[in-house]
Structure 1
Amino acid sequence: MSDTFTARVEQPGGPVHAGSGDLYSYTVNMGAGDQEAPGRSPRSIADDQLRLVRQQFVDPAGMGMARRVLDASSTVILHGAPGSGRTAAACVLLYEVHQSTGIFRELLPGEEEGVLTDPGLVGVGDRLLLNLAEADVSQWAQTRRDLSALRKAVQEQQAHLVVVMPHDGALESRLQPYRADIARPPAMEVFRRHLRLHRIPYEEYGLPAPALDEFLAEEPSMEEIAHFADRVRRARAAFPVRDGFATWCEQSRDARTQWRKEVSELVATRCTAAQRALQFATAMLHGAHADVIHRGAALLLSTLNTPRDETPLLEGKDLAERLKEIGAAAGPDSRVRFDRLDYDAAVRAHFWDHMPDLRHLFSTWTVQSAELDDPHIRQDLRKRLVSRLADQYLRTGRGNDLAFLAEEWSAAPTSRARLEAAVDALACGLSDPRYGRSLRMLVYYWCRDKHLTGSLAHVLLRVCTDVIAPAHPDQAVTRLHHLARRERGATPALDALCRLAVTSARLRRRILDRLTCHSTAPTVDARLFLRICDPEALTDPAGAPRPLIDEKGVQDCVVAGWAEALARLPQPHWQPYAERWLHTACTADNHRDRMLGLLVDAAGRNGSTLAALYSVARAAEPTAPGGRASGAATTERLIQKISAAQGLRPPAPPTPPAPPRGTTR
């Protein structure tokens, strides 16, 4: 794919997961004087998410066999019925083989990561998930043909691979030894595990509950059980005294089945604009302080240009009475909630489904509410607010529109709250299993070609590092590279690319290859190369059998990259990087000759370039590790290699003076 360089970046400025869906739901310059600290690395984000899955997980029948197969052959093919927690089981298996090297990632055949037979797809110690639970017949057949080559690379790199196969998929006899069948874990045990994680004592949930028995008799998926348990937790938190476990379970059941009809009837009877505005604001800001609910309802009326009620304030109904009319109330903490569990979700769905002409105004109201200056509006409330709006887009098949909503919200002028809302909205779409793939492709095209106005570059950067990179680092590399190419001045995308390279030698190798051997913008990529080509990282094996600099392919990239940098960039730009390269050579005794040789090979037979390298080496001697003598020795070795490259004999060492007559040496 060709790159477009006419575009310009302006102003760079406890989830539940129990077996299905995507596991994965940093920071940059936001303008002069408004900077954020670097966020967590993609590796730490992925590890935290896997740890959460492990805490929620109940071993299904067959899990022990799956562990033994993975331990013996580094590969296991999981087979199980839909809803049995296959994806969660795969993630737990990979979490349990965590190593100091390598990263967790999900392979995505058919997207951008090449064919499964590419040996470069696997890094040392990587933990790979190949989820083909929903694959069609042809995709599963192709995967089976490629699996031997992939398994060979996995074993050579001391990595681990878990494949989730289609429930009705075929498996040849040669692959049967790697198969492990898992069954649904005991539903009641899964339910109680979630309640224990919610810190609910056994004395409370170890009681009979007919509504729970009725629910579990339906053989729900692991994900549905997790949601049911979460509703029980919230029912207990809302009504801890007057109700017991059986009633909490009844409320959780009714929240699944009955509220939509009752909401429809309530909205029909509460027909004034003020009442409906209060209903919608309470549903969207559910659990917020009463002051926030009041301001949110007034803001909605203003957004809809509703004529103001002229009733004198002291004659009108107070907020408590108005909330009672819609089935809500403020608790002792002044936080407003409906009096029935998950009633807020039913209200949101009703307004979205039955008032389609107001959807864009609801979106406008959402971001304006997130920007309200109120001490009770904190970041967690803003995130919940945006997530509740995003849920409506996703629920009604409009997930891709979240990208355009993020673009609108990040347009200049913007605010920190609006910008965070844009990031959160797009992140919700990327984390959804139905829309993740199409939105990742849209983010790719935007990073590569789109005219990035306002703070859209910031939004794209954030989702690349926080959402895409933890499970799909190769795709994050591609997108960050395109963003970095377009930066002027500040380099947040390049900084993020460098941090991503630190997590995996395989990723650094991949980035170097993109910047050199497959570059379509050599001058721009030469600048990026100097940052990525960190000599210490190249000479440190970091747990691998050998360092990157010993690989022929990496050596070719280093020579090609330095050749472009020396030829295309002014000396003041590349000199600090050359000094760092020479200083590393001073201490890397086993790699000094190779490092100096690669630098000389990059200069070729260009006399002026070789002379410039020599002058840089002389200038770097005083600050060399080990002092001037160490730097001088490296310079001496460099001049010998320069002489050899020019076909000159290295100068003979000086003849020592003759000893005085009558003495012995």
Structure 2
Amino acid sequence: MTNFSFTQISGVNGPVQTSNAPLNIGNYYQNAVLAGVTTRSPRANAVDDLERIWQRFVYPSGFGRARELLETYRIVLLDGAPGSGRVAAAKTLLYELFSGDERFRELSWEESDGKHRLDPDHIGDDDRVWLDLSGVEEQIWRDVQNELSAVRNAVAEHGAYLVVVLPGNRGERLRPEFGPYLAKIDRPPAEEVLRRHLRLMAVPGAVTSPTTPLLTGYLDADPPIQEIAIFAGLVAEAWANTEGDLANWYAIAHEALTGREQEVAKDVATLAEGPQRALLLAAAMLHGAHVDHVYRAATALLNTLGHPEDECPLLERPDLVEQFQKIDVEINGNRHVRFRKLGYDSGVRAYFWNQIPELRDGIQTWVEKVVDSADLGQEDCGRLVTRFAEQCLRHEYRQVLVGSVLRWSRGSTTKRRLWAAGLALRCGLTAEKHGRFFRQQIYSWSHNRDLPEGLARVITVMCAQVIAVHHPDEAMVRLHHRARREERNTIAREALVQLVNGDSRLRRQMLVRLIVLSPDGWRWEVDPGLFLEFADPAALTDRGSRNHPFIADADVRGMLAEGWRRVFTRCTQEMWRAPLRQWLYVALGDERNREVLLDILVESSEGRGNILGLLYAAVRNMPRPAADDQERHTVFRDIVLRKICAVQGIRIA
């Protein structure tokens, strides 16, 4: 036996942030939402995720063909049967092309006027991108095919790579022009997938032990590859808690995998008293917690449901050991509780949620109250919130989880409440089938000027450190909406600046939002300052990995000129004096881009004498250079003067 412990929390990733620097969005709220969690950058987190997939990946038949197509055309359309591991194959294909600096992201479709569209601008230089269409409806599949050509062109233009995961076995219905990029993969050998997972978890005998008839029957049924990974985790948990050999652990894991809800139903029928059933549910929701915490939680559940108090004298009641024995729960040497049967806790949670629908509101209220318990440790609180979220992560119950997030983060909030709200949202955002729904929910919240302060902080952290991992464009949009609506605090603005400054493609997207999508000017107080933040001349002239400075793009130059025009005509000199000085310093020192930088400023004046006067005054007021640099400074000043005269139609002799 060993101290190995395996906890299956499907789809929950640790929070991350945008750069390697600490995200400064207010220590109280950041610590409240992320208490006890190590912070990493989205880029590092994305790479780590893909590396974990690659370590467990078993190469299927057809993968080599997919690799060749991707390397040749920079795009491959991956087909295969549902459950064959297509998404994992897509990520592995991209991970194999990773050299250390590229960004991984998922491409999402947007719905507009009943159509589903892909935005080619979401493809950046050297990006590794996947588009998961594995579970989409027929209409989405048809619409997206209309967009693929434009996206393919963007991929080629930016030197990126794209893997598209098709809906199951749809390759034969692909448009002819996409046929050359189609590759079909088969299921990898199921037994090898299982052994790979077990080896990585160091389960004894995983390499040499023969396959049992039970295991052969299970694997021959072609379970989804993702389910095999879950099964492997259950085998590891059985090894950690049960004597025996691999065959025994296989049998225990298989019994747990097939579900125990019916078994639980029979057992609950033998528990006639409410306190027994409350203790059973509390033990399942806090499985692994200290016995005192479980008992207090059971008492809180009874109080929440308005159950009559026990009139039996205290000394005549059964002790804790007897009460837990009746529900088949054991108390270990550290006085922590666990069910004797693997997976029984999951069956209990599912039974009470699915079979007693009148109890759902009570469970929700109870969980919200227990989170406030002062003696409940953070680990146990995390168990409770995560297991509650598991029950809610079905299409018909997602709004229940949304309601709990709202209640935890409004009114008189505490660090524990904000942490619970963040954890619940993180569970939703990182759940494969529900992430889109929760991103849309945060989008809706981000527009609300009257959003509760606590919730505003929670969604800011979720955008900057969870959504930004694979959907940075969506994180940027939501943070911008929040930044525009902040009245006193600036944490969303700070998070937005940090996100955009780490990605040149997002810098362009923000200029589009600030200039093109705001053609009538800046109605929001924060936008002029954001423009000056993102119009950083050093970043604009950086040549990047493709030796092509951002400012070389004519559309970018036009947006910059319009932005400076608005700054000069609508903002105080106090706001733009320092950014203008920085712009001029970069122009002075960068001979290659000097003309372009100065042309943008001059163009922004539209020939207005007052603005040109301010510009020339800024040049004249630059600190006096050292003696050996006076000539360069004089030349620079003359260039500025010549450009000012030219735009005014004045000829210099």
How far does the alpha carbon of each residue in 1:41-89 deviate from its partner, in whole angstroms, 9 at most, with x for none?
A: 3322222222221122111111111111111111111111111001110
Segment of structure 1 superposing worse, 545-554 or 293-302:
293-302
Q: CA distance change for structure 1 residues 101 and 320 in 2, over 3 Å: closer, same or farther? A: same
Please tell me whether the aligned partners of residues 533 and 558 of structure 1 are also in contact (alpha carbons under 8 angstroms): yes
Q: CA distance change for structure 1 residues 86 and 258 in 2, over 3 Å: closer, same or farther? A: closer
Q: 1:600 aligns with which of 592, 599, 602?
A: 602
The question of 1:591 aligning with 2:593 is answered: yes
**Matched residue, 1:533:** 535
In 1, distance between residues paired with 2:578 and 2:142? 52
The question of 1:447 aligning with 2:446 is answered: yes
The question of 1:460 aligning with 2:463 is answered: no
Please tell me whether the aligned partners of residues 523 and 564 of structure 1 are also in contact (alpha carbons under 8 angstroms): no
Q: 1:29 aligns with which of 26, 33, 42?
A: 26
Percent identical pairs in the alignment equals 38
The question of 1:338 aligning with 2:339 is answered: yes
In 1, distance between residues paired with 2:513 and 2:325? 62
Q: 1:229 aligns with which of 220, 232, 239?
A: 232
Q: CA distance change for structure 1 residues 369 and 243 in 2, over 3 Å: closer, same or farther? A: farther
- Tell me the CA shift for residue 102 of structure 1: 4.7
- Tell me the CA shift for residue 583 of structure 1: 2.6
**Matched residue, 1:373:** 374
Please tell me whether the aligned partners of residues 512 and 532 of structure 1 are also in contact (alpha carbons under 8 angstroms): yes
Structure 2 SS opposite 1:399: helix
**Matched residue, 1:469:** 468
In 1, distance between residues paired with 2:227 and 2:303? 39
Runs of at least 5 residues in structure 2 that lack an aligned partner in the other structure: 1-5, 18-22
Q: CA distance change for structure 1 residues 593 and 324 in 2, over 3 Å: closer, same or farther? A: same
**Matched residue, 1:566:** 568
TM-score normalised to structure 1 length:
0.87
**Matched residue, 1:53:** 53
Instruction: Read off the aligned partner of 1:29 and give its amino acid letter.
Output: G
Q: CA distance change for structure 1 residues 632 and 244 in 2, over 3 Å: closer, same or farther? A: farther
Instruction: Read off the aligned partner of 1:461 and give its amino acid letter.
Output: T
Please tell me whether the aligned partners of residues 392 and 401 of structure 2 are also in contact (alpha carbons under 8 angstroms): yes
In 2, distance between residues paired with 1:622 and 1:262? 85
Please tell me whether the aligned partners of residues 80 and 169 of structure 2 are also in contact (alpha carbons under 8 angstroms): no
Instruction: Read off the aligned partner of 2:421 and give its amino acid letter.
Output: A
Structure 1 SS opposite 2:183: strand
- Tell me the CA shift for residue 350 of structure 1: 1.5
Structure 2 SS opposite 1:133: coil
CA RMSD of aligned residues (A): 3.2
- Tell me the CA shift for residue 570 of structure 1: 1.5
- Tell me the CA shift for residue 185 of structure 1: 0.5
Segment of structure 1 superposing worse, 50-59 or 517-526:
517-526
In 1, distance between residues paired with 2:270 and 2:495? 54
How far does the alpha carbon of each residue in 1:357-397 deviate from its partner, in whole angstroms, 9 at most, with x for none?
A: 332332232233333333x612x433332121011112472
Please tell me whether the aligned partners of residues 109 and 118 of structure 2 are also in contact (alpha carbons under 8 angstroms): no
- Tell me the CA shift for residue 546 of structure 1: 0.6
How far does the alpha carbon of each residue in 1:440-482 deviate from its partner, in whole angstroms, 9 at most, with x for none?
A: 3232222124521231111221222233222222222221111
In 2, distance between residues paired with 1:98 and 1:646? 52
- Tell me the CA shift for residue 173 of structure 1: 4.6
Q: 2:545 aligns with which of 535, 543, 546?
A: 543
The question of 1:67 aligning with 2:64 is answered: no
Q: How does 1:239-258 map to 2 (within 5 A)?
A: 239=242, 242-257=243-258
**Matched residue, 2:614:** 612
In 1, distance between residues paired with 2:302 and 2:236? 34
- Tell me the CA shift for residue 141 of structure 1: 4.0
Q: CA distance change for structure 1 residues 15 and 484 in 2, over 3 Å: closer, same or farther? A: farther
**Matched residue, 1:430:** 429
In 1, distance between residues paired with 2:30 and 2:77? 52
Q: 2:203 aligns with which of 187, 200, 204?
A: 200
In 1, distance between residues paired with 2:361 and 2:521? 40
In 1, distance between residues paired with 2:206 and 2:141? 48
Instruction: Read off the aligned partner of 2:95 and give its amino acid letter.
Output: Y
Segment of structure 1 superposing worse, 528-537 or 216-225:
528-537
How far does the alpha carbon of each residue in 1:426-447 deviate from its partner, in whole angstroms, 9 at most, with x for none?
A: 2322333443333332322221
In 2, distance between residues paired with 1:16 and 1:580? 52
Q: How does 1:482-521 map to 2 (within 5 A)?
A: 482-519=481-518
Please tell me whether the aligned partners of residues 259 and 347 of structure 2 are also in contact (alpha carbons under 8 angstroms): no
Structure 1 SS opposite 2:131: strand
How far does the alpha carbon of each residue in 1:334-371 deviate from its partner, in whole angstroms, 9 at most, with x for none?
A: 32110000111111112212333332332232233333
**Matched residue, 1:401:** 400
Structure 2 SS opposite 1:202: coil
- Tell me the CA shift for residue 503 of structure 1: 3.8
Structure 1 SS opposite 2:61: coil
Q: How does 1:129-144 map to 2 (within 5 A)?
A: 129-144=130-145
Please tell me whether the aligned partners of residues 328 and 339 of structure 1 are also in contact (alpha carbons under 8 angstroms): yes
Instruction: Read off the aligned partner of 1:599 and give its amino acid letter.
Output: L
Instruction: Read off the aligned partner of 2:26 and give its amino acid letter.
Output: N
Structure 1 SS opposite 2:532: helix
Q: CA distance change for structure 1 residues 396 and 566 in 2, over 3 Å: closer, same or farther? A: closer
**Matched residue, 1:421:** 420
In 2, distance between residues paired with 1:226 and 1:77? 25
How far does the alpha carbon of each residue in 1:616-648 deviate from its partner, in whole angstroms, 9 at most, with x for none?
A: 444542699x98887676555434433333333
Segment of structure 1 superposing worse, 518-527 or 501-510:
518-527
Instruction: Read off the aligned partner of 1:77 and give its amino acid letter.
Output: L
In 1, distance between residues paired with 2:33 and 2:609? 46
Instruction: Read off the aligned partner of 2:549 and give its amino acid letter.
Output: P
Please tell me whether the aligned partners of residues 330 and 340 of structure 2 are also in contact (alpha carbons under 8 angstroms): yes
Runs of at least 5 residues in structure 1 that lack an aligned partner in the other structure: 1-13, 653-665
Please tell me whether the aligned partners of residues 17 and 223 of structure 1 are also in contact (alpha carbons under 8 angstroms): no
The question of 1:127 aligning with 2:128 is answered: yes
Structure 2 SS opposite 1:469: helix
Segment of structure 1 superposing worse, 226-235 or 169-178:
169-178
